[in-house]
Amino acid sequence: MAASRRVGPSSYFDPARIDALDPRTAALVRRRIDVLGPAYRLFYEQPIEFVRGEGVHLYDVDGHEYLDVYNNVASLGHAHPRVTAAIAEQAGVLNTHTRYLHQGIVRYAEELLATMPPELGHVMFTCTGSEAGDLALRIAKAHTGGTGVIVTRNAYHGVTTEIAAISPSLGGLESLPPWVRWVPAPDAFRVDHAAEGFSSLGEWFAAQVQAAVDDLASHGIRLAAFVADSIFASDGVLPDPAGFLAPVHEVVARAGGLYLADEVQPGFGRTGEAMWGFQRHGTETAPFVPDLVTIGKPMGNGMPIAATVMRPEVVEAFGRDMRYFNTFGGNAVSIAAAQAVLDVVREEKLQHNALVVGASLQGMARELATRHRSIGDVRGAGLFIGIEFAVPGTDRGPYEALTLAVVNGLRRRHVLIGTAGIDNNILKVRPPIVFSQGDAERFITELDSTLSELDA
Ligand X SMILES: Cc1ncc(COP(=O)(O)O)c(C=O)c1O
Straight-line distance from the first to the last Cα atom of the chain, in angstroms, rounded to the nearest whole number: 35
User: What are the beta bridge partners of residue 53?
Assistant: 58
**Residue 264: CB minimum distance to ligand X, A:** 4
DSSP H or E run through 310: strand 306-310
User: Which listed residue (80, 157, 181, 372) binds ligand X by CB under 6 A?
Assistant: 157
Among 108, 156, 226, 244, the residue binding ligand X under the rule CB under 6 A is 156
> Measuring CA to CA, how many Å separate 224 from each of 144, 251, 262?
6, 13, 15
* CB nearer ligand X, residue 48 or residue 164: 164
Spell 184-213 as b/e; 16+ CB within 10 A means b. ebbbbbbbebeeeebeebbebbbbbbbebb
Nearest-approach distance from CB 266 to ligand X, in angstroms: 8
Q: Minimum CB separation from ligand X for residue 45, in Å?
A: 22
Calpha distance 266→72 (Å, rounded): 9
In contact, 113 and 125? CB cutoff 8 Å:
no
Q: What DSSP line would sit under 368-414, residue for residue?
A: HHHH-TTEEEEEEETTEEEEEEB-TTSSS-B-HHHHHHHHHHHHHTT
Which of the stretches 5-13, 104-112, 157-165, 325-333 binds ligand X when contact is defined by CB under 6 A?
157-165
CB of 136 to ligand X, least distance (A): 11
- Tally of CB atoms within 10 A around 25: 18
Work out how close the CB of 83 gets to ligand X at its nearest, in angstroms, rounded to a whole number. Answer: 17
Q: Which C-beta is closer to ligand X: that of 296 or that of 376?
A: 296
Dist CA 191 CA 153 (whole Å):
14
* Nearer to ligand X (CB atom), residue 333 or residue 364: 333
Size of residue set near ligand X by CB under 6 A: 15
Q: Which residue is nearest to ligand X (CB)?
A: 129
Nearer to ligand X, 376 or 432 (CB): 432
Contact between 277 and 226 under an 8 Å Cβ cutoff? The reply is: no
Go through 370-408 and write b for each residue having 16 or more CB atoms within 10 A of its CB, e for each that does not.
eebebbbbbbbbbbbbbbbbbbeeeeeebbbebbbbbbe
User: Considering only residues 9, 53, 129, 330, which one is a binding residue for ligand X as defined by CB under 6 A?
Assistant: 129
Contact stretch for ligand X (CB under 6 A) within 100-108, 122-130, 375-383, 388-396: 122-130
CA of 165: how far to CAs of 157, 181, 314, 429, 447, in Å? Answer: 9, 10, 23, 27, 36
The binding track of 244-283 with respect to ligand X, each residue x by CB under 6 A or -, is ------------------x-xx------------------
Rounded distance, CA 85 to CA 81, Å? 6
State the nearest-atom distance from the C-beta of 48 to ligand X, in Å.
Answer: 20
Residue 161 beta carbon to ligand X: minimum distance, rounded to whole angstroms: 13
Closer residue to ligand X in complex, CB, 208/308: 308
Instruction: Tell me how far, at minimum, the Cβ of 230 lies from ligand X, in Å.
Output: 9
Which C-beta is closer to ligand X: that of 154 or that of 208? 154
Q: Give whichever of 152 and 425 is closer to ligand X, judged by the CB atom.
A: 152
Q: Which stretch binds ligand X (CB under 6 A): 18-26, 76-84, 127-135, 182-190?
A: 127-135
What is the spatial distance between Cα 129 and Cα 307, in angstroms, rounded to a whole number?
7
Stretch 158-177: interaction string toward ligand X, x if CB under 6 A: xx------------------
Closest CA to 297 of 335, 329, 259, 268: 268
Applying CB under 6 A, which part among 63-71, 82-90, 152-160, 348-356 lies near ligand X? 152-160
**DSSP assignment, residue 55?**
B
Instruction: Tell me the closest approach of the beta carbon of residue 194 to ligand X, in angstroms.
Output: 29
Question: Is 149 or 233 the residue whose CB approaches ligand X more closely?
Answer: 233
Residues 6+ apart with CB under 8 A from 372: 448, 451, 452, 456
Nearer to ligand X among residue 46 and residue 160 (C-beta): 160
- Evaluate whether 116 touches 306 at the Cβ level (below 8 Å): no
According to CB under 6 A, which residues from 295 to 324 bind ligand X?
296, 306
Work out how close the CB of 133 gets to ligand X at its nearest, in angstroms, rounded to a whole number.
Answer: 6
Order the strands of the 415-416 sheet from edge to edge: 50-54, 57-60, 65-68, 415-416
> In Å, what is the CA distance from 209 to each residue of 44, 418, 454?
36, 29, 41
Q: How far is the CB of 169 from ligand X (least distance, A)?
A: 9
Q: Which one among 162, 187, 229, 446 touches ligand X, defined by CB under 6 A?
A: 229
By C-beta, is 113 or 159 nearer to ligand X?
159
Please tell me whether residue 128 binds ligand X under the rule CB under 6 A. Answer: yes
CA separation for the pair 315, 140 (Å, rounded): 8
Nearer Cβ to ligand X (83/228): 228
Residues interacting with ligand X, by CB under 6 A?
A: 128-130, 133, 156-159, 229, 233, 262, 264-265, 296, 306
